[in-house]
Amino acid sequence: MYSPRIGDRIATLDTPSMIVDLDLMESNIHTLMTKLLPTGRAIRPHLKTTKSAILAQKLVQAGATGGCVAKVSEAEALAAAGFSDLHITSPIVGPAKVRRLVALFRRFREIRIVVDSEVGAKAIDDALGEMSGVDGVDAEEPIRTLIDLDVGLHRTGVKPGESAMRLIRYVGGLKHLKIVGVQGYEGHLQHLHDARERRAQCLESMRVLTDTAEAFRAAGYCMDIVTTGGTGTAEICASVPGVTELQPGSFIFMDTDYRNAVGSFYANSLTILSTVISQQGPRAVTIDAGLKSLSTDSGMSECKDSRYTYHEFGDEQGSLKWEDDGDGENTPGLTVGDRVEIVPSHIDPTVNLHDVYYAHRNGVIEEIWPVDSRGKVQ
Query: Which residues make beta-bridge pairs with 9?
Result: 364
| pLDDT for res 40 | 98
DSSP 8-state code for residue 250: G
pLDDT-based confidence at residue 325 (cuts at 50, 70, 90): low
Q: Worst-scoring range by mean pLDDT, 59-73, 102-116, 262-276, 317-331?
A: 317-331
Listed residues 201, 226, 253: the one ending a domain: 253
Q: Is residue 321 part of a domain?
A: yes
| pLDDT for res 8 | 98
Using one digit for the tens of pLDDT, what is the confidence trace for 39-48? 999 999 999 9
**Chain centroid offset of residue 343 CA:** 17
What is the rounded average pLDDT for all residues in the chain? 96
Q: Verify that 303 and 189 share a domain, yes or no.
A: no
| pLDDT for res 96 | 98
Q: Verify that 159 and 275 share a domain, yes or no.
A: no
Element (H, E) at 275: strand 270-279
Q: Verify that 322 and 205 share a domain, yes or no.
A: no
Any idea what the CATH number is for the domain that residue 305 is in?
2.40.37.20
Q: Worst-scoring range by mean pLDDT, 138-147, 203-212, 235-244, 292-301?
A: 138-147
Q: Is residue 201 part of a domain?
A: yes
Q: Verify that 247 and 313 share a domain, yes or no.
A: no
- For 8-37, b/e burial (b = at least 16 CB within 10 A) is bebeebebbbbbbbbebbeebbeebeebbe
| pLDDT for res 324 | 74
Q: Is residue 4 part of a domain?
A: no
| pLDDT for res 137 | 53
pLDDT-based confidence at residue 296 (cuts at 50, 70, 90): very high
Q: What is the pTM of this model?
A: 0.96
Q: Verify that 275 and 239 share a domain, yes or no.
A: no
Any idea what the CATH number is for the domain that residue 86 is in?
3.20.20.10
Domain count, the chain: 2
Q: Is residue 9 part of a domain?
A: no
| pLDDT for res 376 | 98
Q: Verify that 60 and 167 share a domain, yes or no.
A: yes
Q: Is residue 196 part of a domain?
A: yes
Listed residues 253, 288, 303: the one ending a domain: 253
DSSP 8-state code for residue 239: T
Q: Is residue 65 part of a domain?
A: yes
| pLDDT surpasses 60 at 338 | yes
Q: Report the distance separating Cα 347 and Cα 57, nearest Å.
A: 20
Whether residue 10 contacts residue 264, with contact meaning beta carbons closer than 8 Å, is answered with no
| pLDDT for res 159 | 98
Listed residues 192, 218, 253: the one ending a domain: 253
Q: Is residue 377 part of a domain?
A: no
| pLDDT surpasses 70 at 202 | yes
Q: Verify that 320 and 178 share a domain, yes or no.
A: no
pLDDT more than 90, % of the chain: 94
| pLDDT for res 131 | 82
Q: Verify that 76 and 204 share a domain, yes or no.
A: yes
| pLDDT for res 136 | 53
| pLDDT for res 356 | 98
| pLDDT for res 331 | 85
Q: Report the distance separating Cα 313 and Cα 317, nearest Å.
A: 5
Q: Report the distance separating Cα 359 and Cα 370, nearest Å.
A: 11
| pLDDT for res 134 | 62
Q: Verify that 89 and 208 share a domain, yes or no.
A: yes
| pLDDT for res 43 | 98
DSSP 8-state code for residue 179: E
Domain with 155, as residue range(s), is: 23-253
Q: Is residue 214 part of a domain?
A: yes
Q: Verify that 287 and 233 share a domain, yes or no.
A: no
The stretch 57-70 carries a mean pLDDT of 98
Q: Verify that 240 and 346 share a domain, yes or no.
A: no
The stretch 305-324 carries a mean pLDDT of 96
Q: Verify that 274 and 129 share a domain, yes or no.
A: no
